[in-house]
Structure 1
Amino acid sequence: MAQNSPIHPRPDPKMTVTPEIPRSSEAGIGLKRHIGLGGLLLATLASMIGSGWLFGPLYAARLAGPSAIIAWLIGGSMFMLLGLVYSELGALFPVSGGVVRFPHYAFGPAASYIVGWIVYLGAVTFPAIEVEAALQYASNYLPALTHVSGGVQVLTAQGYAVAALLMVSFTVINLWGVRAFARANNAIMAFKLFVMVSMLIAFLAIGFGADKLTDFGGFAPHGVGGILSAVATGGVAFSFTGFQQPVALSGEVRSPGRNIARAILLGLLITTVLYCLIELAFLGAVPAGALRNGWGHLAFANDFGPLAGVATMLGLGWVAALLYVDAVISPLDCGLNWSVMTSRISYGMARNGTIPAVLGRVSGRGVPWVSVLVGSGVGLVLFLPFPGWQTFVGFITSAAVLSYGTGPLAHAALRRQLPDRVRGFRTSFGDLVPFVAFYAGNLIVVWTGWQTIEKLLVAIAVGIVIFAVQRLTQRTTGSDLHWKAAAWIIPWLGGLAAISALSTFGGRSVIPFGFSFLAIFVLSLVIYVLAVRLRLPTASMPPADTGTDERAVKPSEHGPAL
């Protein structure tokens, strides 16, 4: 009876404690569980609080005006749904690189490779964009680092050299080991929070003018479309994309059944509150003269470093100084966190067996060193096609959110494959949370616009070709890839591409604005049902990666129907 029972709507009291993970589950291959809740929460905050809060208030305000505050609330709520899903998955399978390993468990190697490639596309670009953000702010006092090209601030030759040096420093710190990284991150994160709170209090106390929220075109001068565009391309969604850091590091976390969920959900709650307050403070502190042409044309001196520029105009020199220092430290710390995360993602793919096993090699310090070196090399190359912060944001947001969308599907499948497995954290309301999270992720992807999605689909196609070449050169058959279980991916990507191309978000405007929500809802429902029905009969996991007491596992052979 238990095998065919529906998903539990509430936590089962018998399943509230996850046994301590045996060291052999990950330590046997070199990773060590060094990170507690405090360090994990700070790592989560550091992965989200990077360049997004430094640039997002300006770009979101240009797109949505004062209603940009609503955009931050929408973004935080959407990512909170995804956070609930990944909290359960991370506690269920506390293995490093989990975000690319959950699809492997639920749908097999073919699905895990495609998903892993999408995840990697988003993650590997993050260190580079954070370096560019730091240099863009630093160009206020080192103007040789950047110049304006086509209306966008981009790196000069000197800027490229400094960027390369910073990427190399990420590599050195990453290779030193996660314990040293966590110690350094704690101090840096404390400074970042101090600067954010100091700026917030100063702007609200000295420069805030409530009239700016209504007198320059109204609260929502660009309507609902402006709010949604701010979520997708104004830096809002981008600022939340590091929430899954605890999942990426879960193979190195103490008591993962408790700490992963706490770090994810607390991190999202803290950042949502901070981002909303900072946007409010920025909106009220912008000098009225900068709004003479409306919010859509908001511009002022030194707006390439918007928060520091406003602080300078308000006569808050000490706040501007703090922001210029933090504008280097904050993005670089975030980039370092993403450098760590990227190496764990490729490590996870290597453990899945979908990329060369050499990327799974771990040093004596417990670091996947080959993955670190490869990620750093790719990051260096990415400076060439994406030489400025603005050229990065849409692509990263689309890739990251697209990859996160597979988590809810894996969540639904694993609930059916492993209904009796011990869960340290369990979401309520059955399929409601994962489905709404999947729908929310698909919405954000479409909101990024067809021009971005078009580029992302080309990059995904390149990854599939690489995978095919790898399989052919290894002379392996496809019988063990479980293509049937991955068959939902092509209609999912194709459906998103079609809706985006026909939508009002950079497409041909064939699908009216309101109907695009219905179209994405229908696509999300069809793919959700299809993925659950095509899932593997039982979860596909190597014994060493189960992460829990095998005696607690009683997988159903077929699982319940949706």
Structure 2
Amino acid sequence: MTQLASPAAPGQTHALKRSVGFWGLTFVSLGSIIGSGWLLGALTAAGIAGGGGSLVSWVLAAIMLMVLALIHADLGAAYPVAGGTSRYPHYAFGGFAGFTAGWTTYLQAVAIAPLEVEASLSYVNSIGSVSKTFPLVNSDGTLTLQGIVIGLLAMVLFCFINLGGAKWLSDSNTGIVLWKLFVPVLTIVTLLLIDFHPGNFTANGGFAPFGFHGIFAALPAGVVFALQGFEQATQMAGESVNPQKHVARAIILAMVIGAIVYIGLEIAFVGALNPGQLLKNGWAHPIGAGDYGPYYTLAIQSGVAWLAVILIIDAIISPGGTGLIYVGTTARISYALGLPDALTKVSRRGVPVWSIIVATIFGMLFLAPAPSWQQLVSVITGATAIMYAFAPIALGALLKNDPERQRPYRVPAPKVMLPLGFCFANLIIYWGGFAATWKLVLGLLIGQIIFVIASAARAKNVDASHARWQFAAWFWPWQIGLVVLGWVGNYGDGALKLLPDDWDAVIVAVFALVIYFVATSLGQSRERAEASVSEDLSDEEMAGLRSPAGFA
């Protein structure tokens, strides 16, 4: 069984409409990158890695994610389908691997919209009058009752906008993203000009007071989370008017802009800290314990009240815009998974209505019991890294088994970049810690159980052999290996810290390389890969993909 229900199921009255242009795709990815991460990521990184170390963390994360972005750009241009991150492994390894990748993608994506809402409310709560008279966040970072109610209303608004259609989503997102880009740049320039202390980068223990361990630990604690989201253009590639030309360019441009902005923000944040307060409190609380509005606090301390006002407004718009996008793209993922059949049906506007509604409901469930922003980020980052890890192995297998595919963009030096990208994704998972890794693996197991049950229920109508279990034989050795490495490793609660510090990254990378070469050698045959692609793309689109001109 290639999937439980094809998005292009025969007899379907309506289909996804190709109505999103280049800038629409770019802003979907850029809007996903610039969200709550810019409001809270710099503070978290500095607290874990120190002043100079946090800057190294952002540069390292930008390099790692750029490699993965280039790989996604190759796949997105060659296979322009909705929910691309789940479909690429499907083409390479069959239905079981595809569903597992899609389930991973869904788990991380469905939690991001409510997380962004929680971040927005946490930031607004940093205003003294709000926290005293109408608190939105408890002292432990969880939402109060009124915070939950406001969060639920925000999720309903996201749902309503997404039901308007992909073009409505991209058009409404354009203005939001322009604002989201303007405010961080304004913050960087203002703090650099008004209140900048270069000595902060070597304060309290030197440039990197916590060594490589701190630099690496900061990545899954908010840095990678902030920079993720470039893949959203691939999730909506099935609605792009010219996916061959636009998807790759949109991904790369969004990633470059996002990386520059975030590195600039970390420089401005560390430089704007009060040296006396930093010396007193250390990197654990560089602006004060329990403060969830770092740039707002710095603006007030620097006497820039007008910037503080803009930051509070942006604390609503930036996370809200990202949450809006993720409700829509989460729906595309469940559309691609096709579980159940109703999720593949689209309205006259060309949107998967029930997929959007289900994504909204699941997102609402995350609001009430959700822990703090910082606690959720590491788990979501781990799930994202697993999702990203599927891309290089899928492309590696497809380059062998689908060689004649028209590829408008080709990742440079694929023999180096693909295994390197897979290693990067595995390192991010490992640095996230043992506690996060075993929980993620348990979540994947639950998804696979759902797949098996659904496959058994539909066995009379679907050839179960199409699940192609044998092509995913590498998956559980990979996941079990990650859990074991996390257990004997040096990061997170429950880790035994048996591996040599710093050299543990080399051990994880070697393990990842072994899995990469085993997995890419087990891909489907050329005939099966082409058959899988043809399920999602019409004959006209297939012809376009084989021609140099692509879609008109």
Contact 2:220-2:377 at 8 Å conserved across structures: no
Structure 2 residue corresponding to 1:468, chosen from 452, 468, 479: 452
Please give the per-residue CA displacement for 1:457-486, whole angstroms capped at 9, x wherever unaligned: 221122122222222333456422100001
What is the one-letter code of the residue matched to 1:126? I
User: Structure 1 residue 310 and structure 2 residue 310: aligned?
Assistant: no
**SS of corresponding position for 2:138:** strand
Q: Matches of 2:137 and 2:166 in 1, distance apart?
A: 36
- TM-superposition CA deviations, 1:240-299 (whole Å, max 9, x none): 221101100101112211111111111111111111111000001011233113213323
Report the CA distance shift for 1:475/1:308 in structure 2 as closer, same or farther (over 3 A): same
Give, in whole Å, the separation in 2 of the partners of 1:196 and 1:188.
Answer: 13
Aligned pair partner of 2:428 in 444, 459, 463: 444
1:504 equivalent to 2:490? Answer yes
CA distance in 2, matches of 1:35, 1:504: 45
Q: Which residue of 2 aligns with 1:18?
A: none
Q: CA separation in 1, counterparts of 2:546 and 2:197?
A: 59
In the TM superposition, residue 229 of structure 1 has moved relative to its aligned partner by 0.8
- Kept after mapping to 2: 8 A contact 1:418/1:553: no
| Partner in structure 1 of residue 246 of structure 2 | 259
2:151 corresponds to 1:160: no
Aligned partner of 2:187 in structure 1 is 199
* Structure 1 match to 2:54: 68
- 1:70 maps to a residue whose letter is V
Which digits, 9 at most, give the CA deviation of each residue in 1:460-514, with x for residues without a partner? 1221222222223334564221000011110111111110111011210111223
Measured after TM superposition, the shift of residue 528 of structure 1 is 1.0
Deviation by residue 1:438-459 (Cα, 9 ceiling, x = unmatched): 0000000100111111221221
**Partners of 1:52 and 1:58 in 2: CA distance:** 10
The match for 2:138 is 148
Q: Which moved more, 1:80-89 or 1:518-527?
A: 518-527
Deviation at 1:142, TM superposition (A): 3.0
Give the TM-score normalised by the residue count of structure 2.
0.91
The alpha-carbon distance between structure 1 residues 301 and 320, as it changes in their structure 2 partners (threshold 3 A), is farther
In 1, Cα distance between equivalents of 2:513 and 2:188: 41
Map 1:112-151; keep pairs closer than 5 Å: 112-139=98-125, 140=127, 141-143=129-131, 144-149=134-139
Work out the CA distance in 1 between the residues paired with 2:312 and 2:176: 15
Q: Alpha carbons of 1:34 and 1:96: their partners in 2 closer, same or farther (altered >3 Å)? A: same
For 1:340, which of 299, 306, 328 is the aligned residue?
A: 328
Pick closer, same or farther for the CA change 1:321–1:414 going to 2, 3 Å.
same
Kindly provide the amino acid, as one letter, of the partner of residue 148 in structure 1: N
Alignment of 1:535-546 (within 5 A): 535-538=523-526, 539=529, 540-546=531-537
Q: Following TM superposition, by how much is the alpha carbon of 1:314 offset from its aligned partner in structure 2, in angstroms?
A: 0.7
Q: Answer yes or no: is the 8 Å Cα contact 2:83–2:234 preserved in 1.
A: yes
Task: Find the aligned partners of 1:215 and 1:414 in 2 and give their Cα distance.
Answer: 49
Give, as a single letter, the amino acid of the residue that structure 2 aligns with 1:386.
Answer: A
Please tell me whether the aligned partners of residues 95 and 467 of structure 2 are also in contact (alpha carbons under 8 angstroms): yes
Q: Which moved more, 1:179-188 or 1:484-493?
A: 179-188
What pairs up with 1:358-507 in 2 under 5 angstroms? Answer: 358-476=342-460, 478-506=464-492, 507=495
Aligned residues: 525
Q: How does 1:276-315 map to 2 (within 5 A)?
A: 276-291=263-278, 292-300=280-288, 303-315=291-303
CA distance in 2: counterparts of 1:544 and 1:460, whole angstroms: 25
Q: Distance in 2 between matches of 1:24 and 1:109?
A: 16
Distance 1:28 1:101 in 2: 22
In 2, the alpha carbon distance for the partners of 1:128 and 1:551 equals 38
The CA distance in 1 between the partners of 2:33 and 2:384, in whole Å, is 13
Deviation by residue 1:323-346 (Cα, 9 ceiling, x = unmatched) = 000011100000001111100111
Give, as a single letter, the amino acid of the residue that structure 1 aligns with 2:58: W
8 Å CA contact 1:420–1:552 kept in 2: the answer is: no
Deviation per CA, 1:338-390, whole angstroms, max 9, x where unpaired? 1111001111111xxxx222111111111111110111111111123324212
Once residues 541 and 467 of structure 1 are traced to their aligned partners in structure 2, the CA distance between those partners, rounded to angstroms, is 18
Q: How has the CA–CA distance of structure 1 residues 301 and 388 changed in structure 2, closer, same or farther, with 3 Å as cutoff?
A: closer
Q: Which moved more, 1:368-377 or 1:514-523?
A: 514-523
Aligned-pair identity (%): 37
- Give the AA of the match of 1:96: A
Please give the per-residue CA displacement for 1:194-241, whole angstroms capped at 9, x wherever unaligned. Answer: 2111111110000101111123321111111111111111x1100122
- State which of 247, 256, 261 in structure 1 corresponds to 2:234: 247
SS of the residue corresponding to residue 182 of structure 1 reads helix
Verify the 8 A CA contact 2:287 2:294 in the aligned structure 1: no
Secondary structure at the counterpart of residue 467 of structure 2 = coil
Deviation per CA, 1:148-192, whole angstroms, max 9, x where unpaired? 34xx31101111111111111111111111111212111111112
- What secondary structure sits across from 2:502 in the alignment? helix
Structure-2 residue corresponding to 1:170? 158
Letter in 2 for 1:197: V
Check conservation: 1:301, 1:309, Cα contact below 8 A. Answer: no
- Contact 1:499-1:520 within 8 A present in 2 as well: yes
**Residue pair 1:100, 1:119 contacting (<8 A) in 2 also:** yes
Q: How far has the Cα of 1:545 moved from its partner?
A: 2.3
Distance (Å, rounded) in 2 between the aligned partners of 1:542 and 1:85: 18
Is 2:91–2:533's contact at 8 Å kept on the other side of the alignment? Answer: no
Alignment partner, residue 5 of structure 1 = none
RMSD: 2.1
- SS of equivalent residue, structure 1 residue 153: coil
Tell me the residue number matched to 2:5: none
SS, match of residue 55 in structure 2: helix
- CA distance in structure 1 between the aligned counterparts of 2:497 and 2:505, rounded to whole angstroms: 13
2:28–2:325 CA contact under 8 A, matched in 1: yes
Matched residue type, 1:543: S
Q: CA deviation at 1:28?
A: 8.0
- Ranges in structure 1 where 5+ consecutive residues have no aligned partner: 1-22, 555-562
Aligned residue number for residue 12 of structure 1: none
TM-score of the superposed pair, with normalisation by structure 1: 0.90
**What CA distance in whole angstroms lies between the structure 2 residues aligned with 1:512 and 1:231?**
20
Among 90, 95, 98, the alignment partner of 1:109 is: 95
Query: Any idea what the Cα deviations from partners look like across 1:100-124, whole Å, max 9, x if unmatched?
Result: 0011110000111111111111111
Query: Which residue is equivalent to 1:526?
Result: 514
| Contact 1:217–1:294 under 8 Å retained in 2 | no
Q: Which runs of 5+ in 2 are unaligned?
A: 1-7, 548-552
Q: Residues 181 and 552 from structure 1, CA distance in 2 versus in 1: closer, same or farther, beyond 3 angstroms? A: closer
- Alpha-carbon distance change, 147 to 39 in structure 1, aligned in 2, over 3 angstroms: closer
Q: Which of 252, 261, 272 is the aligned partner of 2:259?
A: 272
Do the aligned partners of residues 118 and 421 (structure 1) sit closer, same or farther apart at CA in structure 2, a change above 3 Å counting? same
Which stretch of the first structure deviates more once superposed, 380-389 or 218-227? 380-389
Distance 2:545 2:112 in 1: 38
